[in-house]
């Protein structure tokens, strides 16, 4: 298929995410993956959508840049928070259970205000819009609309305890209404009852959003261990490890002691959002992990991951997730993509998503970074002008998110250099006197 041809196979993609009063994002933040006229040639995916004559341009990657503690991680966490609420709402909620949310904590008014989440998606070539608003104990609002024939059609719209069902849920209205609770999302209830009309939407949250952060690296190492079971994926994983020039010559499964098994099980539950003792929990064995082989003067030596360098562990934790997401499609959220990795490796990860050859299923990468090599100079950059976003924190601690395209950048602009010069904001206000006072003794 020509790279500019419309992709008509059943693909999924995130078009936009919106959140309000989530973590450091007190006010509304909006992240878009719609392709624009500023897109790099050959990067945009033209996805067909039911009932529309024109395809929808979709970006396979977006990068967020900004100073430390400005909200870069908070944006990724907000997306993952939405996944957690959807996945766990019905499964873990008792009659008086608190709803999982992380409101803005730096003023008392925001702590009391509800949190809001919205996504715009393409699922199997049908466009969907879904969102909800929650406080600590109530679902205040929730909606799902889709566009099966190019026009918006209501699946359901919830206002507190009142639910207005669309045609797609008419036959299941009574069952879903009886099962509803004020602290549970209807989408989660519908999944528990096997409601076919909402199956794709729930499954996207359950399986297509994955978060790579330093907190879940052990669990991601287990995902890599799972890939070693198959000869094909083992060789591909080994190719990624060899490419990074880490001195690795082989990869092997290794048995773990019981106490380590349970610790890693807990990490996997956290990563996958499953309950202890559930069917999903039992389906994933963590009895084994992997050891990496290195060449020595007398042969091959196996080293467990915990004894490898931090850079090796970071790359190993990414490699398994990269293979899985690029093979199956989905959205990979990568916190501090540049941490402990060579700049060229960071660029390679982004290029894997940008390329239609290595990313035929329209997998998407949303990452944050301090690496200005990604921004590039002139036309040598890893991400296009409509794929770059910035975060900035106000004096009151609230984060804002805004795109580079708001500055009307030209194709030949040296974006990396301009960013470091403060042309786009998102730079710290550093007072040299503060650091001097920390190290220069006074009165001695």
Residue 391 pLDDT greater than 50, yes or no: yes
Instruction: Pull the structure tokens for residue 116.
Output: 């809001």
Predicted pLDDT at 264 = 65
Query: How close are the terminal C-alpha atoms of the chain, in Å?
Result: 74
Cβ distance 16 to 28 under 8 Å? no
Q: Which residues contact 188 (CB under 8 A, 6 or more apart)?
A: 86, 87, 88, 89, 90, 91, 202
Residue 286 pLDDT greater than 50, yes or no: no
Q: pLDDT tens digit string along 271-285?
A: 555 555 554 444 444
Which of these, 147, 105, 145, lies nearest to 126 by C-alpha position?
A: 147
Average confidence score pLDDT of the chain? 88
Residue 23 pLDDT greater than 70, yes or no: yes
Instruction: Pull the structure tokens for residue 172.
Output: 């299941």
Instruction: Pull the structure tokens for residue 276.
Output: 């202890």
Residue 47 pLDDT greater than 80, yes or no: yes
Q: Once rounded to an integer, what is the mean pLDDT over residues 321-330?
A: 95
Q: Which residues contact 380 (CB under 8 A, 6 or more apart)?
A: none
Predicted pLDDT at 279 = 44
Residue 4 pLDDT greater than 80, yes or no: no
Q: pLDDT tens digit string along 226-260?
A: 888 888 999 999 999 999 988 888 888 876 666 76
Q: pLDDT tens digit string along 100-110?
A: 999 999 999 99
* Residue 81 or residue 286, greater confidence: 81
Q: Which of 136-140, 298-302, 329-333, 401-405 has the lowest mean pLDDT?
A: 298-302
């Amino acid at each position: 298929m020509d790279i500019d041809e419309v992709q008509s196979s059943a693909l999924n993609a995130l078009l936009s995410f919106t959140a309000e009063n989530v973590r450091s994002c007190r006010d509304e933040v909006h992240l878009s993956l719609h392709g624009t006229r500023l897109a790099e040639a050959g990067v945009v995916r033209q996805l067909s959508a039911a009932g529309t004559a024109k395809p929808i341009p979709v970006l396979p990657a977006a990068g967020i840049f900004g100073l430390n503690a400005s909200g870069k991680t908070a944006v990724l966490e907000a997306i993952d928070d939405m996944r957690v609420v959807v996945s766990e709402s019905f499964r873990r909620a008792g009659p008086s259970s608190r709803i999982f949310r992380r409101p803005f904590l730096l003023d008392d008014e925001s702590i009391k205000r509800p949190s809001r989440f919205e996504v715009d998606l393409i699922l199997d070539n049908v466009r969907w819009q879904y969102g909800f608003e929650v406080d600590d104990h109530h679902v205040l609002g929730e909606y799902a609309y889709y566009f099966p024939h190019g026009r918006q059609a209501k699946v359901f719209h919830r206002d507190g305890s009142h639910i207005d069902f669309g045609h797609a849920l008419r036959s299941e209205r009574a069952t879903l209404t009886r099962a509803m609770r004020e602290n549970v999302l209807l989408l989660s209830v519908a999944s528990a009852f096997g409601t076919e009309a909402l199956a794709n939407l729930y499954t996207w949250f359950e399986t297509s959003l994955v978060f790579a952060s330093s907190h879940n690296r052990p669990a991601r190492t287990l995902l890599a261990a799972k890939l070693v079971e198959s000869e094909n994926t083992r060789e591909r994983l080994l190719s990624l490890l060899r490419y990074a020039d880490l001195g690795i010559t082989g990869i092997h499964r290794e048995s773990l002691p019981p106490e380590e098994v349970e610790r890693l099980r807990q990490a996997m539950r956290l990563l996958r959002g499953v309950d202890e003792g559930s069917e999903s929990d039992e389906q994933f064995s963590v009895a084994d992990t992997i050891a990496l082989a290195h060449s020595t003067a007398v042969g091959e030596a196996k080293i467990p991951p915990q004894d490898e360098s931090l850079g090796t562990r970071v790359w190993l934790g990414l490699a398994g997730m990269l293979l899985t997401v690029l093979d199956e499609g989905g959205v990979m959220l990568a916190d501090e993509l540049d941490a402990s990795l060579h700049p060229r490796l960071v660029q390679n990860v982004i290029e894997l998503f940008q390329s239609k050859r290595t990313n035929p299923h329209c997998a998407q990468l949303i990452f944050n970074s301090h690496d200005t090599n990604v921004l590039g100079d002139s036309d040598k950059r890893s991400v296009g002008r409509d794929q770059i976003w910035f975060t900035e924190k106000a004096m009151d601690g609230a984060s804002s998110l805004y795109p580079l395209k708001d500055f009307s950048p030209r194709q030949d602009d040296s974006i990396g250099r301009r960013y470091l010069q403060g042309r786009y904001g998102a730079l710290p206000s550093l007072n040299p006197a503060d650091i001097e006072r920390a190290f220069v003794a006074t009165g001695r």
